[in-house]
Structure 1
Amino acid sequence: MLFHVLLKALLFELYFGQVYATVNATASSNIRAIYLFKDVLKSNTTALKTSGFNSLIIFGVGILENGDIMYYSNTPGSQDTLIASGGAYVGGTALSDKVRSFKAGDTGINRLEISMNAQHVRELTRSPGTGSETTLYRNFEALKTAWALDAVNNDDESIYDVTSTAAFAKMLGKIGYKYTIAPYTNTGFWRNVKTQINNGLQEPNLLLDRAYLQCYDGGAGNDPGNWQSTLGLKVVPLVWVTNDSKPSQGITATQARSRFTSWNSRSSVAGGGYWNDYDIEKMGLSYTEYGDVLTSIFP
């Protein structure tokens, strides 16, 4: 009798353990992201929170030579803002309140990232380093608290230094950030970065846990399936919404649906995303239409 009881318990655990693993696998494949190119103080917060997106990546954050952090203006009428200096947040309450509001109240947003290139990362990680006493460490710690950030996104398109990239990512991991990448080329570099950063780590504790793959402009020919094989990590393909900057690279919501459906059917990607909110508003497009594409394919 005891044997049968134990056998039933074991089968129960195996069955529901498999169900749990399946649910987790599904949950990790529903990333619905959009890059915020517009000054967040002027963005349509309500639309971003309620149109089906669950991940926002704030573009235009940069590191200065001394380790201070700037938020650069990409919007007419806005100005560059120093947001962290000397280990403290200095960007003002209006900006911090606006950023924090993305994950508050009636919202679908559960992940908030900042995107930056690798400018000054190599020099600062070499000297003075990445210790908790450095300005670089303390500034990112202060900014995480002020903006309630979850991750830092690396949009390196020119420097490609593996050693400093990995050191910077591991510093951020100690602070409590996740680390993500936004490649469009140089697969070997990104593969090495991913290997070094995630060495010895297993899901769900990966430090580098997302790859937002640019599938437009310079990365227009990218195939998510090939990148997933190279990286050993599922990717989130990005497309560019209809725009007047490079019209040939922009796509409608209907075209986005076709591309995401095709990529996901061939390679089962981790989700989908867009570059960028500024063009959606400038071109009079619909957040809802673009968001519905993602929620229908990556629910």
Structure 2
Amino acid sequence: MAPPAPTTGSRSAVFVGGPVYPTNPNAGQVVADLRGSGFTTVILWSIHVWCDQTDEQNPNNGDLYYNGELIVHNGEYVGDPAWPDLVGQLKTGDGTSVNRVEVSVGSGGVSDWNNIAYLINAQGTGSTSVLYRNFQALLAATGADAVDSDNEDYYDVDSGVAFMRMTQDLGYPNSTFVPFDNQDYWAALKASLGSFVDRTYVQCYAGGDINASAEALIEWSNQLDGMSVDPGLWCRHTEETGDTCASGDSPTDVHDTLSGWISESAPLSGGFIWLYDDIAKCAQQTGCTAANYAQAINQATGVRIPVTTR
């Protein structure tokens, strides 16, 4: 049975990595699963910015990778030719719950935002810079509705603002954050970028478990000029200890946690799940599908009226 349509006003996001890229022979099935899942937002994770900071003239500086796959070089899309069509299918045509696709830049344990700062210092963000040309090509390939900042390596406000302003000039409709710490950095970005930042996906798992309370989420909202937040939880997954998809949250856990935070006056407009890749790996063992997780978020948060960003 198909999952129910999202409740009016609800929004639910899921991060997805390699399964949606054509190197996965089942990428088409993944797209179909996401279309019918009930998730309203798919966040393509992660775009990495390559740079050899020891060689300013390296012709590969600024190359964009989707995980380990080179997709943009010197202002041209050079990735798998089937990927733009797969991404486009996520939110087009009848029968899809997805109405928004974002590209997420960065992650833990990388130097993407340090590289971005270096490239901005070397070339700026004008139309001839490699960052401008490469993110222009990325927009053409994906039709992304937002650039999501998963900055976990270089908290420099000036370069962060310059980069996001560049994406705005390029025509990306919005920018979003997915923080887990360093609240002052994100608050400074929001103060500079204003309503261009229309969502903040607060990590409430792993290193972000310090945010897993209504009190912490209220504080994030206060620091971000009163905007509502979309907290994220980790689905069932396998930890390094070798458990069999026993770690993380079930759909019921997700629903009850989000509902609990709302009952304690946390300003939620939705939520997100980390990570579709884990859902797919564990679904057979746990019985927990993408549709189950989307329904959990949509039902928990759909009764809320979103808080408007000032």
TM-score past 0.5 threshold: yes
Q: Deviations over 1:131-156 (max 9, x none)?
A: 01212101111111111111111111
Q: Is the 8 A contact 2:238 2:247 kept in 1?
A: no
Match of 1:213 in 2: 202
Question: Which has the larger displacement, 157-166 or 111-120?
Answer: 111-120
The equivalent residue for 1:226 is 219
What pairs with 1:137-216 in structure 2 (closer than 5 Å)? 137-177=132-172, 178-198=174-194, 206-216=195-205
2-structure distance, mates of 1:91, 1:46: 21
2:47 equivalent among 58, 61, 65: 61
Q: Distance in 1 between matches of 2:136 and 2:170?
A: 6
Question: How far did 1:249 drift?
Answer: 5.7
Please give the TM-score of this superposition, normalised by the length of structure 1.
0.82
Q: Distance in 1 between matches of 2:62 and 2:10?
A: 35
Q: Which runs of 5+ in 2 are unaligned?
A: 1-6, 52-60, 107-112, 303-310
Partner Cα separation in structure 1 for residue 48 and residue 116 of structure 2: 10
Q: Which of 56, 75, 85 does residue 87 from structure 1 map onto? A: 75
Match of 1:40 among 6, 13, 20: 20
Map 1:241-280 onto structure 2 (within 5 A): 241-245=235-239, 250-265=248-263, 266-280=265-279
CA deviation string 1:204-258 (max 9, x = no partner)? xx21111110001111121212211121221110000011026786111111011
Provide the rounded CA distance (Å) in 1 between the counterparts of 2:280 and 2:36.
15
Contact 1:228/1:235, CA 8 A, preserved across alignment = yes
Aligned to 2:300: 297
Q: Give the match's secondary structure for 1:268.
A: coil
SS at 2:118's partner residue?
A: helix
Which amino acid in structure 2 is aligned with residue 93 of structure 1?
A: P
2:280 partner letter: E
Letter in 1 for 2:221: Q
User: Residue 30 of structure 1 corresponds to which residue in structure 2?
Assistant: 10
Structure 1: state its 5+ residue gaps. Answer: 1-25, 73-79, 199-205
Distance 1:248 1:122, change over 3 A: farther
Which whole-Å CA distance do the structure 1 matches of 2:20 and 2:41 have between them? 14
**Deviation, structure 1 residue 167:** 0.3
Are 1:51 and 2:40 matched, yes or no? no
Please give the alpha-carbon distance, in whole angstroms, between the structure 1 residues aligned to 2:10 and 2:101: 15
Give the aligned CA root-mean-square deviation in angstroms.
Answer: 1.8
Moved over 6 A (4+): none
CA distance in 2, matches of 1:31, 1:121: 30
The structure having more radius of gyration, on CA atoms, is: 1
Q: Could you say what secondary structure the match of 2:199 adopts?
A: strand
In 2, the alpha carbon distance for the partners of 1:136 and 1:169 equals 11
Counterpart of 1:126 in 2: which secondary structure?
helix
In structure 1, distance between residues paired with 2:156 and 2:114: 11
Normalised to the residue count of structure 2, the TM-score between the two structures is 0.79
